[in-house]
């Protein structure tokens, strides 16, 4: 069994914001695999069904970003799952917009959704699908940036970015972590065979959002 948690903030106010890209990826996978992810359970919207022949529980915590840990832990516990069965999709300031990288463990880098997950899951031993949103422009507060709407250029590419992240989740489910990292974590200009994973397998920097 696999668990897929997309991080974000609930409510219309936060729809279309950079911080909610995790919700978009869960929604895309629910659409692809005909999974109804609308049941309210343990403080999250939950749905389950097969993804590439593997039973997968999709969840979107509804307790706001900085309290993502408790509903995630509750859903995983309800299904008697383990931390290494959990995949978390989240926005990443330390990657350029559109980049998708996969890693297991690492620090929270100031991301309070991850911080709370570390606390409630007993550590960082889950898999992360990191979706790059880039750094805020000079003079912007980080909070304003991550809670801001996608700009016009980003909107034009967003569907493709979400599809790429969903592809990464599917590969994780079907082929495992190593195969997914080899596919997604390569430096630009290098082929997949024999390529070294990108530096983002190490913990994120201490900077980052505080939401």
d(CA 169, CA 60): 15
Strand 86-92 to 100-104 pairing: unpaired
Residues identified as active-site: 19
Asked if 60 and 90 count as a contact pair (C-beta separation under 8 A), the reply is no
Closest CA to 136 of 65, 210, 60, 25: 210
Residue 205: other Cβ atoms inside 10 A: 11
Residue whose structure tokens are 């994780």: 172
Provide the token pair at 124. 């960082």
Strand 44-51 to 100-104 pairing: unpaired
């Amino acid at each position: 069994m696999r668990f897929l948690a997309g991080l974000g903030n609930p409510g219309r106010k936060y729809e279309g914001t950079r911080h909610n890209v995790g919700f978009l990826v869960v929604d895309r996978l629910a659409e692809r695999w005909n999974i109804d992810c609308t049941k309210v359970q343990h403080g999250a919207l939950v749905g389950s069904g097969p993804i590439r022949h593997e039973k997968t529980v999709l969840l979107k915590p509804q307790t706001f970003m900085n309290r993502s840990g408790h509903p995630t832990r509750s859903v995983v516990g309800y299904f008697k799952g383990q931390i290494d069965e959990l995949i978390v999709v989240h926005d990443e300031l330390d990657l350029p917009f559109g980049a998708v990288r996969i890693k297991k463990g690492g620090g929270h880098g100031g991301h309070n959704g991850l911080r709370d997950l570390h606390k409630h899951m007993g550590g960082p031993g889950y898999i992360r699908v990191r979706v790059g949103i880039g750094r805020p422009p000079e003079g912007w507060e980080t909070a304003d940036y991550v809670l801001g709407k996608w700009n016009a250029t980003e909107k034009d590419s967003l569907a493709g970015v979400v599809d790429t992240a969903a592809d990464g989740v599917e590969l994780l489910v079907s082929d495992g972590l190593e195969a997914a990292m080899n596919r997604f974590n390569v430096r630009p200009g290098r082929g997949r065979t024999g390529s070294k994973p990108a530096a983002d397998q190490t913990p994120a920097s201490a900077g980052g959002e505080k939401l």
